[in-house]
Amino acid sequence: MASHITRRTILKGSAALGILSALPGVALAEGMEDLIAAAKKEGKLNTIALPPDWANYGKMMKAFTEKYGIPINNASPNASSAQELQAVKSTRGQDRAVDVVDVGPSFALIGQTQKLFTPYKVSTWDTIPDDMKDKDGYWYGDYFGVVSFGVNTKVVKNVPQTWADLLKPEYKNMIALNGNPLSAGAAFGGVFAAALGNGGSLDDIKPGVEFFAKLAKSGNFIPVGVTPATLESGQTPIAINWDYLNLGYRDKFEGKAPIEVVVPADGVFGNFYAQAISAFAANPEAAKLWEEFVYSDEGQLIYLEGYAHPARFNDLAKRGKIPADLEAKMPPSKFYTHVKFPTQAQQKAAQKVLQENWQSMVGQ
């Protein structure tokens, strides 16, 4: 069943920090001193698909290296979730083998099914909401966002407010997704949001595919993957993307390209990304330390600075850990009144529908 949330209620159920007792086969969050020493002995961390301007990952990686003196090799910063899983397989046994991934939840499920991850529970495990983590610790949500329109108003004079607006002839050759929904979590979310805005539901993504088929037929949808450069230049002046990315671009391009961010009221869809440690990690201790950092108060607030809503937001707020000036920079809470998250079963079903229909109906 879908969850209807506000920013303050999505992350309820938080508990006090503490080291957990391990389930069978699940590693304990180790004493930090021993973990730091083991990670430093390995001497590096191999990440993948962490664009510096995505969810503030540039600062996250820099802060980790400065704190622990462990350099990060970040391969293929713009790789998709599907490519991350493939890289886990293809680099197995090599010195550059992927240590950790950050993938859309549907791909987290695929990775778990394919036995690509090893379970690990961070010391802040109890404060990660149950519906954002695998109960056995194979993957865990780190931040979430909602689908939005990032609009370059230098090119687009009338800013669309709804999914229905995107069908207007004035938006010809203007609308793009962040990747292909068959392989990219952001694009997958865009199609799901369109479904909600066009008579579909979390149990029925097909209307979203049909909507993009209409956009493609009209010439409004263009098969160009959104990047910061394409939004700034006006090549993709209407970018269907996560809110934290579009809001970040708004700030980044201030004085160069005016970006307005809209969450379409007729179809609000949210989803999270998930961290997981590779079962074939070249640096497993550094991987654990990375997860401890990401899920610490410091790491979670770095996400928030990049407009991504950290998984542990409720716990941070309850303990008064969110600086007032930082919270003031967040989008209005009305954007998140009707956010819907899909269940694992709904995501699997939606993936199947996309696999069967996207290429033939939309042709991207």
Q: Which is nearest to 111 in space by CA: 225, 352, 280? A: 280
Q: How far apart are CA 86 and CA 48, in angstroms?
A: 11
Give 16-71 pLDDT, tens digit per residue: 233 333 333 344 444 899 999 999 999 999 999 999 988 999 999 999 999 999 99
The mean pLDDT of the chain is 89
Counting beta carbons within 10 angstroms of the beta carbon of residue 320, is it exposed (0 to 12), middle (13 to 18) or buried (19 or more)?
exposed
DSSP 49: S
170 class by beta-carbon count within 10 Å (0-12 exposed, 13-18 middle, 19+ buried) = exposed
Model confidence band, residue 336 (pLDDT cutoffs 50, 70, 90): low
CB atoms within 10 A of CB 77: 15
- Cα–Cα distance for residue pair 139/114, rounded to 1 Å: 13
Nearest to 224 by CA among 355, 364, 361, 358: 364
Q: How far apart are the first and last CA of the chain?
A: 31
332 Cβ contact list (under 8 Å, min separation 6): none
Rounded mean pLDDT, 219-240: 96
48 neighbors 87 (Cβ within 8 angstroms): yes
- Record the tokens describing residue 10, joined without a space: 């999505």
The one-letter code for the residue type at 256 is K
More confident residue, 352 or 23: 352
pLDDT for position 5: 31
Say which amino acid occupies 294: V
Residue that the structure tokens 């090599």 belong to: 94
Q: Residue 273: exposed, middle, or buried by beta-carbon count in 10 A (0-12, 13-18, 19+)?
A: buried
Q: How far is CA 51 from CA 12, 227, 285, in A?
A: 29, 11, 23
Q: Is the pLDDT of residue 74 over 50?
A: yes
Query: pTM of the full predicted structure?
Result: 0.74
Q: What are phi and psi of 259, to 5 degrees?
A: -115, 125
Residue 317 to residue 299: CA distance in whole angstroms: 15
